[in-house]
Chain A
Amino acid sequence: MYKIAVMGGRDTVMGFKALGLDTYPVSDATEARGIFNKLTSQDEKYAIIYLEETLSKTLAQEIARFTDKATPAIILIPGREGSQGLGLTALQNAVIRAIGTDIL
């Protein structure tokens, strides 16, 4: 049985708690990195980690390690400030990587 985690600012993750997901509120970069490493370690069975967009810059290196692996899936979600479109940018980058140009 696998689990789903939500990482982000306290306000962002709060709602997901009620849905029955595991939530991990973070406030600064070091804390985020620590929690992220813990969630992605072998003994935690997280299949999906939803990550608030604003964290994607600080955790870019860590995220990149998992793009080529089957698990866990790291998915960016918009935070409280509204969508910054980082999810779409990531999609565009993947398309450019695979095809060579941006066709969207």
Chain B
Amino acid sequence: MAQKTISPTRMELTRLKTRLKTATRGHKLLKDKRDELMRQFLEIVRKNRELRLRVDEGLSNANRSLAVASAIMSPEMLEQSLLYPRHNIELDMAFNNIMSVNVPVYSFNTELDDSSSIFPYGFAQTSGELDDALASLEGVFKDMLELAQVEKTMQLLADEIERTRRRVNALEYVMIPEMQTNIKYISMKLEENDRSTKVRLMKVKDMVLETAGYGK
């Protein structure tokens, strides 16, 4: 391991020990966070998949009806019929906090709540397929909105999980082992210093005794 030069002092040792303690604690917390994020993520992924399939199918149906309608009606007529929407959709957004990830929560309200009048045109000059297309679009729209929310949540969680995982691994395999070896190095060095001081003192004592005439 790339050893940085560390000064083998008691102060450094104490500092490293506190850091190791914090790192271990942080590692444990992050690991818990990762596990919980993972659990939530799996739940959301499952929901996302379900909604995605439903929306794909609903939109395909709507598109098919629309294709038939556009084959029957002239493009100008079709465009004209759809030009002025009968209702306005207002979207509201709040944020929900999942394990410190802010995910959006959408709620919407349409200005015209009567679903029988979603058609912004008269029935006389338009084909029935257009009605079908709009009705199925209207039906799938709620799912689409939920899909948007779930999919965004999924993306944000995926990002957070990736980041948390990196941090857990960095702590587990780099930071903590490095600190442990450093602590070991310092304590060995300190013990070594102790021993050498002791030996030096014994030697000095011997020399002092000898000069004082108490020698062998």
Contact = CB atoms under 8 A, between A and B. Distances in A.
User: Is chain B a partner of chain A in the same complex?
Assistant: yes
Given A14-B82, A70-B152, A88-B49, A3 B91 contact: yes
Interface residues of B, number: 61
Interface string A89-104: 0010011011100011
Interface in A68-85: 68, 70-71, 73, 75, 77-80, 82-83, 85
A18 to B, nearest CB: 5
Interface residues of A, number: 40
A4 B66 CA distance: 21
Interface of B is mostly: helix
Contacts of B120: 18
A15 B82 contact: yes
A48 interface: yes
B89 A91 contact: no
B93 to A, nearest CB: 5
B159 A68 contact: yes
A58 to B, nearest CB: 20
Interface stretch (B24-32, B139-147, B172-180, B191-199): B139-147
B127 interface: no
Contacts of A103: 42
A50 B154 contact: no
A1 interface: yes
A15 B210 CA distance: 108
A25 B114 CA distance: 28
A26 interface: no
A100 to B, nearest CB: 8
Closest 3 CB pairs of A and B: A73-B152, A98-B158, A98-B161
Interface of B: 38, 41-42, 45, 48-49, 52-53, 55-57, 59-60, 62-63, 66-67, 70, 78-79, 82-83, 85-93, 95, 102-104, 106, 110-111, 118-120, 133-134, 137-138, 141, 144-145, 147-149, 151-152, 154-159, 161-162
21 contacts: A1-B91, A15-B63, A18-B86, A19-B87, A20-B88, A47-B93, A47-B104, A48-B106, A68-B155, A70-B104, A71-B104, A75-B152, A77-B144, A80-B67, A82-B63, A83-B59, A85-B56, A87-B52, A91-B151, A98-B161, A99-B41
Given A4-B89, A75-B144, A82-B63, 13 more contacts: A11-B70, A14-B79, A19-B138, A20-B87, A21-B89, A47-B91, A47-B93, A71-B104, A73-B151, A78-B59, A94-B155, A95-B45, A98-B162
Interface of A: 1-4, 11-12, 14-21, 47-48, 50, 67-68, 70-71, 73, 75, 77-80, 82-83, 85, 87-88, 91, 94-95, 97-99, 103-104
